[in-house]
Amino acid sequence: MTKKARTILFGICVFLFALTAPTVILYSQGYLFDFETKKVVQVGGLYFKVAPRSAQVYLNGNLKAPPSLFTSSALIENLLPKMYYVEIKKDGYHSWQKTLEVKERQVTDAKNITLFPQNIGFATTSSPLPKIIVNATSSDGQKVIEADNHEILIYFPKEDKKIFLTRFSETIGKIFWLNDYYLIFNTGDKLKVAEIDDRDRLNIIDIAEFKTPEIFWNTATGKLYILSRKTLFVSENLLP
**Distance from CA of residue 229 to its chain's centroid?**
35
pTM of the model: 0.84
State residue 185's pLDDT score: 98
Name the band, by pLDDT with cuts 50, 70 and 90, for residue 68: confident
Closest CA to 186 of 176, 196, 173, 177: 173
In whole angstroms, what is the distance from residue 42 CA to residue 230 CA? 61
Virtual CA dihedral for 147, 148, 150, 156, nearest 10 degrees? -20
Closest CA to 152 of 127, 186, 119: 186
In whole angstroms, what is the distance from residue 93 CA to residue 109 CA? 21
pLDDT digits (tens, 9 = 90+) for 87-118: 999 999 999 999 999 999 999 999 999 999 99
In whole angstroms, what is the distance from residue 63 CA to residue 109 CA? 18
